[in-house]
A and B are shown apart, each in its own frame.
Chain A
Amino acid sequence: MISRNVLADLELVSGRLDRTRAKLTSGKELTRPSDDPLLVGRALQYRSELAANRQYRRAIDEATGWHEASDSSLSAISNMLRRARDLAVGGANGASSPAARQLMATEVDQLIEGIKTEANAQYAGRYLFSGTTTLTAPYSTADDAYHGNASTINREIGPGVQLQVNTVGSAVVGDASSGIVKALRDLSAHLRANDLTAVASDLTAIDAVHDELITARADIGSRVNRLDAAAERLSELEESTVRLLSETEDADMAKTLVDVSTQQAVYESALRAGARIVQSSLLDFLR
C-alpha cells in the first residue's frame, strides 16, 4: 500500500517535472492545445493578426515605392512644363524673331516627347500612369493618344482599408484633346504660325495644366503621408501583438527555472523518502 502510494506520487512529480522541463527547452508555455485551449485559441488569433500585419506592411512598402516613382516622374514632367512655359513667355514676346519661334516650337515638340517618355515610367516592370492596363505604355511617339484606361489600382494597407496607388495619365498628362499634351501641342503650333495672341493665351492654358499637375503631386504627397501613418500604426500594433503573443505563448523563463529546480528537489526527496520507507518492516527488527 505504501509502495503504491510512493509510486503514484513519484509518477505525479516526475510527470510535472517532465512538463516543466519541456517548457524550459521549448521556451513555450503552450506546446499543445490541451495545455490551455483558451490561450491556444487566442495565440492562434494573435498569430493571424501578426501575419496579416506583416503582409499589410509589405503592401505599404510596395505602395510607397509606387508613389515615389510616380512623384519623381511627375516632378520631371513639371520641370519640362516649366521650361515650356519659359519658351511660351519668350515666344509671346514681340522681340523674338519668327525664326527663333520656329526653334522654340521644335524644342516644345521635343519637350512633349520628353514628357510622354516620363509618363511612360515603369515601376517594377509596370507602367505607372496607364490605369490598370499596366503592361501597355500609356503614350507612344506615333500619336498623342492615351493608351491606358482610367481605372484605379487599389492596395489593401490595413484590415478593410484600401488606398488608390496610381495616378491616371490621361487626367494629368492628358492627350491630344486635353491636358499638358494638348496645351503644348497648341503652343508649338501657334509658335510655328507666329500667332502671338494665341501663344499668350497658351500661357494661361499651360498655367492651368501645371496647377493640375501640382494638385496631382499634392495628392500623391498626402497619400504617402497616409501610408506613413498606416505603417507607423501597423508597427505599433505589431509590437503590441508580438508582446501579447509572447505573454500568451512564451514561458516565463525565470519562473520555469525556479519551478524546475523546486520540482527536481521534490522529486529527489520523494525518491529518497520512498526508498527508505519501502525498505523497513517489522522483519528488520526481529531477531
Chain B
Amino acid sequence: MNAGPNRVGQSGLTYFGRTTASISHELKNALAIIKENAGLLDDYLLMADKGMPLDAARFRTVTGRIADQITRADGIIKNLNRFAHSVDEPIKAIDLNETAGLLDVLSQREAAMRQVTLQVCPAGAATPVTTAPYLLLTLLGRCLSLCLQHMGSGKTLTVKVTKGPDGGRIEFEGLDAAALAAAGDFPGENESALLNAVGAECHLDGTHGCMSITLSNR
C-alpha cells in the first residue's frame, strides 16, 4: 500500500477540490433560496404596513421554504464534516456500507446534473475492511464519475456493497456495453496507483454491465 505517492496525492487533492466545490455550490443555492424567501417575507410586511392584508397561509408557505432550506444546508454541512474527517487516519478499519453511503451523498448533485438516478444498496451486514479511507473514497469517486460520464441520461447507476469471506466488494451496476467500451483504458495510471494504495482490485464485467472494486483484509 505505498505506490506512487505523488500521483495518489494529486488524485486525492483533485477529488477534494472537486467535491468541496460541488458542496459549496449546493450551499450557495440553499442560501440564495433563504435570502430570496426572507426578502419576500419582508416585501409582504412592507405591503402590510401600507394597509394591504397579510395572507397568513402564503406567509406560512414561505417560512416553510426557509425552514426546508435550513434543514438542507444543515445536511450538506454534516456531509462536508464527514468528508473532512475521512482524512483523519491514513489507514483504519472501516465499514464499506458507510463509505458507500458517504459516496452517495457526496455524488448526488453530480448524478443529478447528468440526469442519472444514483442508488446505493448496502450489504445486509457490516462489511469491515482495513484500508486508506480517504484514498478509497477518491478511487470510488473516480469510478462513479467515469460511470456517470459514459452511461447517458435517464439511467440508474446502482452502487452495491457485497460482503466477502475476508473483505468486501463495491459494484457499479447499470452500465451498458458502450459505456464499458468508453471506459476501455480504465483503470489508468492514476487509478492503478489508487488501487495499489488502498489494496484493491478493479474488474470490468462487460456481460453484466458492471465495474467492481474488491478489497481484501488479507
Chain B associates with chain A: no
